[in-house]
Amino acid sequence: MFKIRTRNLQNKKGFTLIEILVVMVMIAMLAALVAPRLFPKLGKGKQSAAKAQIELLDQALDQFRLDVGRYPTTQESLSVLSTNTNIEKWDGPYLKKGLPNDPWGHPYNYQCPGTHGEYDLFTYGRDGAQGGEGEDKDIGNWE
């Protein structure tokens, strides 16, 4: 008589389009919940890194002062921590890996004599301009 054909679904492997779409929607929802909480912490991490680098540069400047008897002048800049420019009693380099940029890629600013102490060592933050709030806030060794 009549033979009814049945599909053997057990032999088919893979995902249906609906299953893939459901998973993609779930991933998008998770990303939408997590991303707003994660991005502000990224900026705070860069600010913390800048503070840590400033402290390390402070230590190198103090070591320079112990050897030479003074802090570098503004004209000499921080580069004397890595390279001797014929300074008597220089016993460096005082930085193992050279002079770093701030976490946003800008060079650190150095003034000696400073307005906040014997010297000022600072970064202008993400925007590279004086002032600002949040990630654009200036970070200095006087804080």
What pLDDT, in 10s, does the model give residues 14-67?
788 888 899 999 998 888 887 777 666 666 788 889 999 999 999 999 999 999
Residues in a beta bridge with 120: 111
**Residue 141 contacts residue 121 (beta carbons within 8 Å):** yes
- The pTM of this model reads 0.68
**CA–CA distance, 131 with 50 (Å, rounded to integer):** 16
**pLDDT tier at 129, thresholds 50, 70, 90:** confident
* Domain membership flag for residue 28: no
* Domain membership flag for residue 58: yes
Sheet containing 139-140, strands listed edge to edge, beginning at the edge strand earlier in sequence: 109-111, 120-123, 139-140
What is the chain's percent helix, strand, coil content, to nearest 5? 45, 10, 50
**Residue 122 contacts residue 140 (beta carbons within 8 Å):** yes
Mean pLDDT, the chain, as a whole number? Answer: 85
* Domain membership flag for residue 140: yes
* Domain membership flag for residue 9: no
Q: What is the 3-state secondary structure (H, E, C) of the chain?
A: CCCCCCCCHHHCCCCCHHHHHHHHHHHHHHHHHHHHHHHHHHHHHHHHHHHHHHHHHHHHHHHHHHHHCCCCCCCCCHHHHCCCCCCCCCCCCCCCCCCCECCCCCECEEECCCCCCCCEEEECCCCCCCCCCHHHCCEECCC
* Domain membership flag for residue 125: yes
**Residue 68 contacts residue 88 (beta carbons within 8 Å):** yes
Residues 62-99: pLDDT tens digits? Answer: 999 999 999 999 999 999 999 888 889 998 899 988 89
* Domain membership flag for residue 20: no
What is the domain count for the chain? 1
- At 90, which CATH number? 3.30.700.10
* Domain membership flag for residue 138: yes
Two tokens at 30?
């998770």
**pLDDT tier at 135, thresholds 50, 70, 90:** confident
* Domain membership flag for residue 127: yes
Per the structure, the complete domain to which residue 89 belongs is given by: 49-143
